A and B are shown apart, each in its own frame.
Chain A
C-alpha cells in the first residue's frame, strides 16, 4: 500500500509540474464540448436562428409553385432567394455559394391540374356518372420534374432531409388537387365541403415524464455525455506517453530492479489518472450547468442524477485508463503511442456512436459498436441523462467497462512480465 501511494504521489507531482499538459488535459475538452454543442444546438431547435440560404428558380408561377415557396418559407429553415435563370442558380450552387437550388418547371401548376382532372374524369366515367366521352382521345400529359442542385460538399443527411421535405410537400399538393378536382366534378357549389382535406392520421411524440413534467431532450443532454466520454478516453494519449517516457528516460529500468511489481506502478498511475478523469467530468458538468445557459444554450439538467453520473464516469475512466496502460506498455516510442492513441480514440468514438447514432450504422458496424467501450459508456450516460435509468439499468454497461479495465490492465502486466522476465 505504501509503495502504491508513493507511486500515486509521484504521478501527481509529475502531472502538476507539467502545466502545459494540465492545461491541455482540462481546457481542451471544455473547448471541444462548447464548440460541438454550439454547432449542433440548431439541429435540436424547432426554430433556428440560422437559416440556410437557398435559390429557387420559379418557371411555373402558378398556384403549385406558390404553395412550394410558401412551404419553404414556413419551414423556417431556409432563406429563399429567387433567381431567374437555372444556369445562374446551378453555377452558384456548384461553386459552393449556396447549398441548394430548386428549379420549378414551367407549367407545373397547369400540368398538374390537367393530369388530375384527366384522372378524376376517368374515374367518374368508370362509375357511370358522366356521359360517354370516349369519342375524344385522351391527351398525354408529360410528368413534371422539380430539379434540385446541391453543393457537392453538402452532407448526405442534409440532402435526404431536403428531398424528403419536398417530396412530402409535392405529395400534399397532389392530394389536395385530386380532392379539388373531385369536388368540382361532383358539386356545382364551390363553397360546399365534400372532402375534409385535413390529415386523418396524425402522429404525436410522447416524451418520458418525470414528476408529471415532460423530459424534452436537447442538444446539451445529448452532447455533454457523448463528448465528455470522448474527452475521458483521450486520457489514453497522455497516459501512454507517460509510460513510454519512463522507459526512454531510464526510470523504468531502475524500477525493474526495485522490489516493486509492475501492477503497483500501474496502480499509482491508475489512481491519479482516474482523478484527472473525474476532474474533467466535473468541469464538463459545470460548463453544462453554468456556462451553457450564459451563452444561450440549454442548461444541462443533472438534478437527482449526480451520483449515478459519477458512477458511470468512474467506470468509463477506468476503461480508458486500462487502454492507456496497455498502449503505453506495448509502445516503444512516443511516436508510436501518441498518434495511435489519438486515432484509436476517434475510431472508438465513431464505433461507439458519438458522432453517428449506432442505429443508422450498417449491420457490421452496429455489431462492432457492441464491442466499443465508448458505446457502453455512452449508453450508460444516456440511460442516466435521457432515460432516467437506475443503478440496475446501468449495471450491464458499467460491468463491461470494469471488465474491460481489468482485461487491458491484466494484458499489460502479462505482456510486461513476458518481455522482462529473467
Chain B
C-alpha cells in the first residue's frame, strides 16, 4: 500500500543525510511503528510522506498515487497528526474541528455529528465549546488527533501522538487508534515509547542515522535478538547507548 523506494533527504547546509536510501513497504490496515533515537530521521520520513517536505531523491506512492500526479486525491486519503498542537488557541475545540473538517469538504450536520462522536469517544464532549488555550496538554493532543481523522483517512500518520501526556490520556488515544485501525485505517506512527509500540504496532522499523536498521513484527525482533526481553533491549542493542544530541 505504501511503497517507499530509495528515499533520501539532505537538508540545505546539513553535513549528513537525514534519511538515506530508505526502502520500505507498509501494508494496508497495518499499525506500523517508525522507531529510532532523536535525530534518526523519523519525522523527516513522515514529513516526506505527507508532502510537507521534498525528498532529495527517491520516490514513494500511497495506494499507487503520487503527489506529483494525484495531489488532491492523496491529501483526501491521508491524515496527519503533527507533533505540535496544530490548532488555533483562541478558537474552541468545536470551532477548530469544524474548520479543519470543512477543509476536507465536510459540512453541515454530518460534520457536526462526526465531531461530537469523536469528542465523545475521546472524553472531550463536555469541553467542546471551550477555547483550546484553556486545555491541558493531553486534551490538546486528543483534539489534534480528532482534527486529522474527521474525513476518515485511509492512512493516518502520527508523529509522537502520546508525547507529554498522562497515562489516562495515552490509553484513550491508543484505544481510539486501535478502533480506527479496526475500521480499516492504516496507521504509521513514530514514538519514543517502545513499550507502547511493542503492544500497539503490528510491525515496526528501527531507523538510525537516516538508515533502516531492522524491520519486522515486535515479537519476532525480540526473539531474534539475543538477550533481549523487550523492544527496548532490541533498540539499545541496535542503536547503542551513546547520546544523540544534535545542534
* Stretch of B87-95, B200-208, B237-245 lying at the A interface: B87-95
Judge if A211 is at the interface, Cβ distance under 8 Å.
Answer: no
- For the complex, give the distance between the alpha carbons of A295 and B87 in Å: 47
In the complex where A256-B51, A422-B51 touch, is A14 in contact with B102 (Cβ < 8 A)?
Answer: no
Within 8 A of B (CB), among A112-137: none
Would you give the shortest CB distance from A198 to chain B, in whole angstroms? 73
Judge if A305 is at the interface, Cβ distance under 8 Å.
Answer: no
Residues on B with C-beta less than 8 A from A250 are 82, 84-87
Would you give the shortest CB distance from B8 to chain A, in whole angstroms? 14
Within 8 A of B (CB), among A221-278: 249-251, 253-260
* Stretch of A2-10, A40-48, A81-89, A212-220 lying at the B interface: A2-10
Judge if B72 is at the interface, Cβ distance under 8 Å.
Answer: yes
Would you give the shortest CB distance from A271 to chain B, in whole angstroms? 15
- In contact, B52 and A6 (Cβ under 8 angstroms): no
Q: Among A6, A18, A257, which residue has its beta carbon within 8 angstroms of that of B99?
A: A6
Would you give the shortest CB distance from A244 to chain B, in whole angstroms? 14
- In contact, B88 and A14 (Cβ under 8 angstroms): yes
Q: Among A10, A13, A257, which residue has its beta carbon within 8 angstroms of that of B51?
A: A257
- In contact, A257 and B78 (Cβ under 8 angstroms): yes
Q: Among B79, B95, B102, which residue has its beta carbon within 8 angstroms of that of A3?
A: B102
Q: Among B52, B54, B90, which residue has its beta carbon within 8 angstroms of that of A14?
A: B90
- In contact, A257 and B88 (Cβ under 8 angstroms): no
Would you give the shortest CB distance from B53 to chain A, in whole angstroms? 7
- In contact, A249 and B52 (Cβ under 8 angstroms): no
Within 8 A of A (CB), among B75-119: 75-76, 78-80, 82, 84-91, 95, 98-100, 102-105, 107
Interchain pairs with CB closer than 8 A, number: 82
- In contact, B76 and A259 (Cβ under 8 angstroms): yes
Judge if B222 is at the interface, Cβ distance under 8 Å.
Answer: no
- For the complex, give the distance between the alpha carbons of A421 and B71 in Å: 10
Judge if B147 is at the interface, Cβ distance under 8 Å.
Answer: yes
Would you give the shortest CB distance from B163 to chain A, in whole angstroms? 14
- In contact, A249 and B103 (Cβ under 8 angstroms): no
- In contact, A249 and B102 (Cβ under 8 angstroms): no
Would you give the shortest CB distance from A260 to chain B, in whole angstroms? 5
- In contact, B54 and A421 (Cβ under 8 angstroms): yes
Closest chain B residue, CB of each to CB of A246 = B88
Q: Among A6, A258, A420, A421, which residue has its beta carbon within 8 angstroms of that of B75?
A: A258
- In contact, B86 and A254 (Cβ under 8 angstroms): yes
- In contact, B89 and A2 (Cβ under 8 angstroms): no
Judge if B124 is at the interface, Cβ distance under 8 Å.
Answer: no
- In contact, B91 and A258 (Cβ under 8 angstroms): no
Residues on A with C-beta less than 8 A from B91 are 10, 13-14, 17
Would you give the shortest CB distance from A248 to chain B, in whole angstroms? 9
Closest chain B residue, CB of each to CB of A252 = B86
Closest chain B residue, CB of each to CB of A248 = B84
Would you give the shortest CB distance from B71 to chain A, in whole angstroms? 8
Residues on A with C-beta less than 8 A from B125 are none
- For the complex, give the distance between the alpha carbons of A255 and B84 in Å: 13
Question: What secondary structure prevails in chain A residues at the interface with B?
Answer: helix
Closest chain B residue, CB of each to CB of A259 = B75
Would you give the shortest CB distance from A418 to chain B, in whole angstroms? 11
- For the complex, give the distance between the alpha carbons of A46 and B52 in Å: 65
- For the complex, give the distance between the alpha carbons of A422 and B53 in Å: 6
Would you give the shortest CB distance from A159 to chain B, in whole angstroms? 52
- For the complex, give the distance between the alpha carbons of A256 and B103 in Å: 10
In the complex where A258-B104, A259-B75 touch, is A13 in contact with B95 (Cβ < 8 A)?
Answer: yes
- In contact, B86 and A259 (Cβ under 8 angstroms): no
In the complex where A3-B103, A256-B52 touch, is A422 in contact with B76 (Cβ < 8 A)?
Answer: no
Residues on B with C-beta less than 8 A from A10 are 88, 91, 95, 99
Judge if B67 is at the interface, Cβ distance under 8 Å.
Answer: yes
Judge if B50 is at the interface, Cβ distance under 8 Å.
Answer: yes
- In contact, A254 and B90 (Cβ under 8 angstroms): no
Would you give the shortest CB distance from B140 to chain A, in whole angstroms? 11
- In contact, B82 and A259 (Cβ under 8 angstroms): no
- For the complex, give the distance between the alpha carbons of A325 and B75 in Å: 24
Residues on B with C-beta less than 8 A from A249 are 84-89
Residues on B with C-beta less than 8 A from A254 are 80, 82, 86, 100, 147-148
- For the complex, give the distance between the alpha carbons of A9 and B96 in Å: 11
Residues on A with C-beta less than 8 A from B103 are 3, 6, 255, 258-260
Within 8 A of B (CB), among A154-182: none
- For the complex, give the distance between the alpha carbons of A255 and B87 in Å: 10
Residues on A with C-beta less than 8 A from B102 are 2-3, 6
Q: Among A2, A9, A253, which residue has its beta carbon within 8 angstroms of that of B86?
A: A253
Would you give the shortest CB distance from B81 to chain A, in whole angstroms? 9
- B 39-75 to A, binary, CB cutoff 8 A, 1 in contact else 0: 0000000001011111100000000000110001001
Residues on B with C-beta less than 8 A from A3 are 102-103, 105
Residues on B with C-beta less than 8 A from A251 are 86-88
11 contacts between A and B (CB under 8 A): A2-B102, A2-B105, A10-B99, A17-B91, A249-B85, A249-B86, A251-B87, A258-B103, A259-B75, A259-B103, A259-B104
Q: Hey, which bits of chain B sit against chain A, CB under 8 A?
A: 48, 50-55, 67-68, 72, 75-76, 78-80, 82, 84-91, 95, 98-100, 102-105, 107, 131, 147-148
Q: Hey, which bits of chain A sit against chain B, CB under 8 A?
A: 2-3, 6-7, 9-10, 13-14, 17-18, 249-251, 253-260, 420-422
Interface contacts beyond A6-B107, A253-B84, A253-B86: sample of 19 additional A-B pairs, CB < 8 Å, sorted by A = A2-B107, A3-B102, A3-B103, A7-B99, A10-B91, A13-B90, A14-B91, A249-B85, A249-B86, A250-B84, A253-B82, A254-B82, A254-B86, A254-B147, A254-B148, A257-B51, A257-B78, A259-B75, A422-B52
